[in-house]
A = this chain, B = another copy of it.
Amino acid sequence: MKANTLPHVVILGAGFGGLTAAKKLKNAPVRITLIDRNNYHLFQPLLYQVAIAALVPSQVAYPVRTIFRDQKNLAFQMGNVNEIDLDARYIKMDGSVIAYDYLILAAGGRMNFFGVESVEKNALYIKDLKSALRTRNHLLSMFERASHEADADKRRAMLTFAIVGGGPTGVEVAGALAELISHVMKKEYPELDVREARVVLFEAGNALIASYPDELRKATLKLLKKKNVDVMFGAKLTDFNGQRISLGDGMQIETNTLIWTAGVQAAEVVESLEAARAGSGRVRTGATLQLPNHPEVYVIGDAAYLENGNGQPLPMLSTVAIQEGKVAADNIRHAIKGQTQHPFHYKDPGLLATIGRNAAVARIWGLSFSGFIAWLIWVGLHIYRIVGFRNRLVVLINWAWDYFFYDNQVRLITRE
């Protein structure tokens, strides 16, 4: 068969889901066009480390073309997809029309501020390289500014760091930030009294990492407190003007920093799609990941909504996206051969969250771990997972260095 008569698979998004599907189709009788707005795959689970200046962008981002250099049936295009025409089977990317036979929508997610406009405008968040770098620059600038601020009230506001959302990301950021202050900033800003610095984690509910077993939730709270993180439960944010947080109960906290980790919704590009929705704009797919009425379209990852056997929604996690990417690719192979489509079943590999440099909580093989052992599991797993040999090596060197010397040598404040 000539290459250009092969079925054309367009994959939208080079995140975990899209990347996995593309790799799985390596030797399939298809032409693949992989599209992303960036020229790199982002290793999201470590992105928060960029925000706290522990890793640099090149350690969590990996050029897509390099990943697929040896995959002959794949072409990469960087661009913004503005339109998807399900009936005519084409997408529009920066003006050019790209027709498909099969479409895998793996467009991922974006922040959800739940309509609190002042937060959307003034809060920091950690969703892509740009927002992570903005967070890093802001955090480091606060220390620089505080170091020559004579007014004690202003100084305290600069050194108060609020994190909203008690999920795994909020817990990771709070723990890492507390350690940055107590181990690094203390040495590097001798003119500052780091006891003036404060990390506050706001959670609207009454538990951290709510989807974890109870013993791990308790362990997390204990580990965070040990690192001097203040945790406030039942805290409902109503306003943040860049200088002051207002809570539902009337309480106010003076701070220049709010990092929002409390919600993700489906990417903008799926918004206009004619399809049934669940919460957070996620597209309801069939069990085979296909769009009802459009069996040639598969939706996977954060943009997709699927439930597990117990009627619980699958979490917006890379592990889900990866497994869905494999099934979508397999199902396209089945479709080409005229075979039946297989339904998706999520195999839960466990749960993991770090709290700073030497502590974590983990739930694997039916067992709960917390503290240093969980952290070692976390380190090993993430080093193993991160794409590419060189990245792995450099990440390892950095981490080893940081761990033994409590040192981060990449605290750059770059300008926008």
Tell whether A339 is near chain B: CB-to-CB under 8 Å.
no
Q: Hey, which chain B residues are within 8 Å of A66, CB to CB? A: 188, 407, 409, 411
Tell whether A130 is near chain B: CB-to-CB under 8 Å.
yes
A130/B415 in contact, CB under 8 A: yes
Contact flag A39-B394 (CB < 8 Å), given A56-B57, A78-B144: no
A57/B412 in contact, CB under 8 A: yes
B188/A58 in contact, CB under 8 A: no
Residues of A within 8 A of B (CB): 38-40, 56-58, 61-63, 65-66, 69, 75, 77-79, 96, 129-130, 133, 140-141, 144, 147-148, 187-189, 191, 388, 390-391, 393-394, 397, 401, 407, 409-416
Q: Hey, which chain B residues are within 8 Å of A189, CB to CB? A: 65
B58/A409 in contact, CB under 8 A: yes
* Cross-chain pairs A/B with CB under 8 angstroms, 27 sampled: A38-B413, A38-B415, A39-B144, A39-B411, A39-B412, A40-B412, A56-B57, A56-B58, A57-B414, A58-B409, A58-B412, A63-B188, A63-B409, A63-B410, A65-B189, A66-B411, A75-B191, A77-B147, A77-B148, A96-B148, A129-B414, A129-B415, A388-B409, A390-B397, A390-B409, A394-B397, A397-B397
User: What separation, in Å, do the CA atoms of A228 and B167 have in the docked complex?
Assistant: 55
Q: Hey, which chain B residues are within 8 Å of A391, CB to CB? A: 409
B390/A187 in contact, CB under 8 A: no
Interface residues of A: mostly helix, strand, loop or mixed?
Answer: mixed
Q: Hey, which chain B residues are within 8 Å of A191, CB to CB? A: 75
User: What separation, in Å, do the CA atoms of A40 and B56 have in the docked complex?
Assistant: 15
Nearest B-chain residue to A57, judged by Cβ: B412
Q: Hey, which chain B residues are within 8 Å of A62, CB to CB? A: 409
Q: What's the minimum C-beta distance from A27 to chain B, rounded to whole angstroms?
A: 18
Q: Hey, which chain B residues are within 8 Å of A401, CB to CB? A: 390
